[in-house]
Chain A
Amino acid sequence: MFTPSHADLLSIAPEIILTVAAGLLLVLEAFLPRTRRYMSELTIAAVVAAIWTRLYLPLPGEVWSGMLRIDATAGFVDLYILAALLMSVWMAGPFLRRSESEFGEFYSLLLLATVGAMVMASAQNLLPVFLGLELLSIPLYVLNAFLRRQQASVEAGLKYFVVGAFASAFIVYGIALLYGATASTDLATIGRLVVSAGSLSPLIAVGLAMIVGGLAFKLALVPCHAWAPDVYQGSPTPVTAFLAVVPKGAALVVLLRLVAEMDLPRLSPGGVVAAGVAAVVSQTLGNILAIVQRDIKRMLAYSGIAHMGYALVAVFVAGVDGGAAVLVYLAAYTLMNMGAFASIAMLSEREDRPHLISDLCGQGYKRPIAALALTICLFSLAGVPPFIGFTAKFVVFRAAVNEGFVWLAVVGVVNSLFAAFYYLRVVYSMYMRPLPQREPVYRFSLPMAAVAAVAALGVLVLGVYPTPLLDAAYTAILSLVR
């Protein structure tokens, strides 16, 4: 029987802290419902503790007899997943109070979903990949539908559930095929077999395609993107922010590990072409459809589809440059989206109505902090310097140019023109159009303003001086790409 060693337990200390906190919150909710008021703070404390342990405990590499690989890449991704969680929880407090749905389960589920994402990010075996995926997805189905009196929220939960179940089935079937072909679920073992064979056998190719296809649902890449706009729109805004960032990050890391272990760019030229097409189509379709959206959350859903198209370019450019570009892109994407959604939560009047861009008219001078934060995040998403979004795009396209994919860089930058168009529309609505006749009612909230301000400041500061982020990404990726 396998008994976990001291090192095994220590390596997943952040996950343990979050799980214990999740359990504690459930107990408190059941027996001491009056503590609800402090649950947001309690959760924040747990997340900060988890971040602290992840920062200061060593990253041992393979643990749990090779099931998990807590390496520098996992550490990097864990940190940004935890940062995203922190910001979601921070803005969730006032949000839930405002929509009269402050229950401890919310935080508990959010914590469990994060644990799932962290397990995925460090999985070295296909079984924990699946385990993490389910632990990430199932709480999210509930969270999407958390505003249960609102039809859109319930609809979002149902849609994400149906699509998610579909994706899980894909992945589990792919795992079964890979196991059938190689008699192993260990990524390193499968990788060794594939690389020594020099090509992909049909069974392995189909298995990999199914796993990648399942991950594509989580990444909302075309053609697996159709759920995103409805789910983004219907979910409570803090959940949308979490959903926009965390599952995508975890799925991208799994993809990075698959690509690196199996040397896919070399062994599967067809796969590279398919990925290139998916990247280009995701960028183009995402950006073009975003132009016609009237709801800002739907617009950000389509923009997210396009952004994952950019990240996918970096995934299959691969190598140190490509891998580091993925990590940088994820960090940038997290900050921009968190800032944008926090600002939107502040700027929107009521949760049960669509977040129309036209409702933002004239807000630039009425709500200067939220509007400025949203403006900075949107310019950054559009890829305009000196913001982090530009740096991230630069790192991705630079990697593509260096590997000879100049055409992908050209498609990418041309796409950012469409993108500029719809991001600018939000900006001019806020600053260049007059306030509507009937002035909407707003409630200032310090935590939301803080999240928006911190994210926007990060977008600006890291955009002007990206060196620390690049250093961290380049150091981390060396643990994965050899």
Chain B
Amino acid sequence: MSDYLLSIVLLSPTAFAILLLPIPRRWKKVHRVITLIASLIMFAISCRLWTSFDANDPGFQLDIGRIPWIPQFGITYHVALDGISLLLVLLTTLLLPVVVLAAWSFNIEHIKSLHISLLLLTTGMIGTFVSLDLFLFYIFWEITLIPMYFIIGVWGGPRRIYAAVKFFIFTMVGSVLMLVAIMYLAWFHHQSTGIWSYDYVDLLATAPLVPTTGGMLAPGLLVFAAFALAFAIKMPVFPFHTWLPDAHVEAPTAGSVILAGVLLKMGAYGLLRFNRTLLPDAWDRFVPLLLVMAVIGIIYGALVAMVQTDIKKLVAYSSVSHMGFVVLGLAAGTQASTQGAILQMVNHGLTTGALFLLVGMVYERSHTRQIADYGGIAGVMPVYTTIFLVFTFGSIGLPGLNGFVGEFLILAGSWEAYPAAVAIACLGMVLGAVYMLWMVQRVFWGPLDNPAMRSMPDINLREILVVAPLLVFISWIGIHPNTFLSPMEAAVRLLLAP
């Protein structure tokens, strides 16, 4: 039974989505309750996965083997977990109940479709993190597009259609070329071994042999570039980030949280899992480019965040900066920096997710996200202000909270190899403190000029429940990061082994 737990976590969201289909649209409460129960069950199962996980085993666990799916092409259903996937699955299943609870007060139409979309999206996200067959991985990767497109486009802000289409097309630009690259790798495997397979474990043996010499158009480099483009757009890395602010700002709170919390991580995960291990030679050639893009992203994201007038847009650009740190850690490629990068993925999911939730809460009360409209609300919403401050500190890397651990590991781990990049990235940390604290100052302190803000109710019990789990986890990571670092340590060591 416990062997199938992973498949249960993966497929049960879809099963619940199908269960919601026949329930009438009018019964909004029923949809909410069923989805919440489903998400709590999934979180419980992932915690069970976590406790039964053997941290000393660097390989894939809970592997029930390859189940033939499209035998003509050697495509199988093959899912398993290693330490890296485990953390990201935990993050996904933690954020789902949070999001469902956050959308409770969402007084909008089509509640049923929203919950079905969220559940289908969850299957796609978890599938991306646990698939070991590249075809299966691609399917899950693409499946996430459709529900997210609807979440942004149906329940989003005024420019939602533009943002939704932009999100869809941008992501697809990257992924279609990745599909050709996957086909090429399978063909190359067949050429070398005579067997058709899309399995990651099989391709690990042959993909590194794809020639990378012979100029810019060597197949290995092109395959690498196709994968890297897909992941760079998703993360997003500096020149490919333009879809992100639009999508984040227009998406409803639930969409922003999932988008920042999990969808961006799919890109970083893919870069580490596939680019790094399948094409190590090409990786070495591309490291300088990745470093440059990472550093530019860190500084650029922070500078642009500083001049934003919309709180949500500010948080969106801060994501570009934070994901720059993740790329830096991955590109530096030491044990510490890689572990730091993976932890930073989780950190970013928790803090940025929480910030989007918190911004959503005041937006529901005041219907504005302009920094200029606020000021002095610390006086009327003291509890809210305290919670917001804690997450702000987590985001800017105050010791004792999660952000510090991730960024410190990344910077310390990268220092030896790339001191210049680390020096510039440190500047990015300073800028991060500047834009976040400046925003906090303008929103929470100063005179309470806006009369509409004077009667704003403070955060209520349900809203505290929404952010409480995130609060627990960011403090836990800050105080005892080893709980989260140790399960992935062996896996990262294996992954980085030459």
Segment at the A interface, from B55-63, B79-87, B175-183, B394-402: B175-183
Q: Which of B29-85 contact A (CB under 8 A)?
A: 69-73
User: Within 8 Å of chain B (Cβ to Cβ): is A413?
Assistant: yes
Smallest distance from the beta carbon of A393 to chain B beta carbons, Å? 9
Q: Are B70 and A398 touching (Cβ within 8 A)?
A: no
A421 near B187: Cβ-Cβ < 8 Å? no
Given known pairs A365-B110, A385-B139, A409-B183, the reply for A428 and B145 (CB within 8 Å) is: no
Contact B142 A413 (CB under 8 A): no
A410-434 CB mask vs B (1 if < 8 Å, else 0) is 1001101100110011001001110
Q: Is B129 an interface residue (CB 8 A)?
A: no
Q: How far is the CA of A215 from the CA of B183 in the complex (A)?
A: 31
Taking the closest CB of chain B, its distance from the CB of A339, in whole angstroms, is: 16
Q: How many A-B residue pairs have CB under 8 A?
A: 81
Interchain CA distance A220-B172 in the complex, whole Å: 27
Measured in the bound complex, the distance between the Cα atoms of B190 and A402 in whole Å is 9
A369 CB → nearest B CB, Å: 12
Looking at B160-168, B276-284, B338-346, B351-359, the stretch in contact with chain A turns out to be B160-168
Q: How far is the CA of A474 from the CA of B160 in the complex (A)?
A: 44
Closest B residue to A397 using CB positions: B183
Assess whether A470 is interfacial by the CB under 8 Å rule.
yes
A467 — which chain B residues lie within 8 A by C-beta? 69-72
**What's the least CB distance linking B437 to chain A, in Å?**
37
Q: Does B150 contact A (CB under 8 A)?
A: yes
Please tell me which one of the listed residues B73, B168, B180 contacts residue A410 in the complex, with CB atoms under 8 A apart.
B180
Q: Which residues of A contact B139 (CB under 8 A)?
A: 385-386
A297 to B265, CA, bound (A): 40
Residues of A contacting B138 in the complex (Cβ-Cβ under 8 angstroms): 385
Residues of chain A with a CB closer than 8 A to B160's CB: 432
Complex Cα–Cα for A421 and B73 (A): 30
Whether A413 contacts B176 by the Cβ 8 Å rule is yes
In the bound assembly, the distance between CA atoms of A390 and B141 in angstroms comes to 13
Residue of A nearest to B170 (CB): A417
Q: How far is the CA of A431 from the CA of B173 in the complex (A)?
A: 24
Contact B169 A421 (CB under 8 A): yes
Which of A341-367 touch B at CB < 8 Å?
365
Q: Are the CB atoms of A420 and B142 closer together than 8 Å?
A: no
B72 near A413 with CB under 8 A, answer: no
Say whether B183 contacts A398, CB under 8 Å.
yes
Contact with B along A446-482 (1 / 0, CB 8 A): 0000000000000000000111001100100000000
- Cβ-defined partner of B180 (8 Å) among A401, A417, A424: A401
Q: Does A161 contact B (CB under 8 A)?
A: no
Contacts known (A413-B176, A467-B71); A401 close to B142, Cβ less than 8 A: no
Does B154 touch A at the CB level, under 8 Å?
A: yes
Q: How far is the CB of B175 from chain A (nearest CB, A)?
A: 9
Q: Within 8 Å CB of A402, what residues of B?
A: 187, 190
A401 / chain B contacts, CB cutoff of 8 Å: 180, 183-184, 187
Tell whether A428 pairs with B161 under 8 Å between CB atoms, given A386-B143, A467-B70.
yes
Does chain A have a CB within 8 A of B444?
A: no
- What separation, in Å, do the CA atoms of A365 and B73 have in the docked complex? 39
* B393: Cβ under 8 A from any A Cβ: no
B297 CB to nearest chain A CB (Å): 24
Chain B contact residues, majority secondary structure? helix
Closest chain A CB from B133 CB (angstroms): 13
B149 at the interface (CB under 8 A from A): yes
Q: How many residues of A contact B (CB 8 A)?
A: 32
Contact B180 A431 (CB under 8 A): no
Contact B153 A414 (CB under 8 A): no
A410 CA to B160 CA in the complex, in Å? 30
Residue of B nearest to A393 (CB): B179
How close is B12's CB to chain A, nearest CB, in angstroms?
Answer: 16
CB distance from B332 to the nearest CB of A (A): 32
A72 vs B190: C-alpha distance when bound (angstroms): 28
**B 91-125 to A, binary, CB cutoff 8 A, 1 in contact else 0:** 00000000000000000011000000000000000
Residues of A within 8 A of B176 (CB): 413-414, 416-417
Q: B73–A398 contact, CB under 8 A?
A: yes
Is residue B146 within 8 Å, beta carbon to beta carbon, of the partner chain?
Answer: yes
Docked-complex contact B168 and A470, CB < 8 angstroms: no
A379 at the interface (CB under 8 A from B): yes
Please, how many angstroms separate the alpha-carbon atoms of A386 and B77 in the complex? 14
Closest CB in chain B relative to A396 CB, distance in Å: 11
Known: A365-B110, A421-B165, A428-B161. A466 touches B70 (CB 8 A): yes
Tell whether, in the assembled complex, residue A424 and residue B149 are in contact, meaning their CB atoms are under 8 Å apart. Answer: yes
**Chain A contacts for B186, CB-based, 8 A:** 398
Contact B150 A431, beta carbon cutoff 8 Å:
yes
A394 within 8 A of B: yes
Cβ 8 A contact of A384, one of B71, B146, B154, B183: B146
Q: How far is the CB of A386 from chain B (nearest CB, A)?
A: 6
Closest to B175 in A: A413
B183 touches A385 (CB 8 A): no
Chain B residues within an 8 Å CB radius of A398: 73, 183, 186-187
Tell whether A410 pairs with B72 under 8 Å between CB atoms, given A420-B169, A428-B153, A432-B154: no
Does the CB pair B72–A474 fall under 8 Å?
Answer: yes
| Contact in complex: B142, A384 (CB < 8 Å) | yes
Give bound CA distance, A471 to B72, whole Å: 8
- 17 contacts across the A-B interface (CB closer than 8 A): A379-B146, A384-B172, A385-B142, A385-B143, A394-B179, A397-B180, A398-B183, A401-B187, A406-B184, A413-B179, A417-B169, A417-B173, A431-B150, A432-B154, A432-B161, A433-B161, A467-B72
Interface residues of B (CB under 8 A from A): 69-73, 109-110, 138-139, 142-143, 145-146, 149-150, 153-154, 160-161, 164-165, 168-169, 172-173, 176-177, 179-180, 183-184, 186-187, 190
- Which 6 A-B pairs have CB atoms at the shortest separation, nearest pair first? A413-B176, A401-B183, A385-B139, A432-B153, A385-B142, A470-B72
